Amino acid sequence: MSTIERQPLGGYAATRPQADSLADLLERVLDKGVVIAGDIRVDLLEIELLTIRIRLLLVSVDKAAEMGIDWWTRDPMLSGSADQEELERLRRRVEELEADHE
């Protein structure tokens, strides 16, 4: 956990928490998860022009899968299956062109 270290500061004792280490802190954050939410609004003369809603969930892959979040396993661009599909499509096209050329 964290410890409290006391240091004199101008005649007064100041306290500040000391984290065990950055690795321990990161492990705790990824294990439990952190949600960051915010809105950005752009107004001009009290007329809303743009609203951006930001929602960020920071967790480990295991924790995300436990929560039912695993979209990256089905995304062809991230799973590598898009490359295989493209390669197979190109092979078929080459075979078609070679057959037409004969």
Q: What is the pLDDT of residues 14-50, one digit of tens each?
A: 555 555 788 888 888 778 777 788 888 998 888 888 9
Of 25, 24, 4, give the one whose Cα is nearest residue 15: 4
Of 52, 51, 19, 54, give the one whose Cα is nearest residue 35: 54
Task: Delimit the domains of the chain by residue range.
Answer: 1-32, 33-63, 70-102
Q: Which long-range contacts (CB under 8 A, 24 or more apart) does 78-81 make?
A: none
Q: What is the pLDDT of residues 41-97, one digit of tens each?
A: 998 888 888 999 988 888 887 888 888 888 777 776 666 666 777 888 889 999 999
Q: Which residues share a beta bridge with 18?
A: 3
The answer to whether the pTM exceeds 0.85 is: no
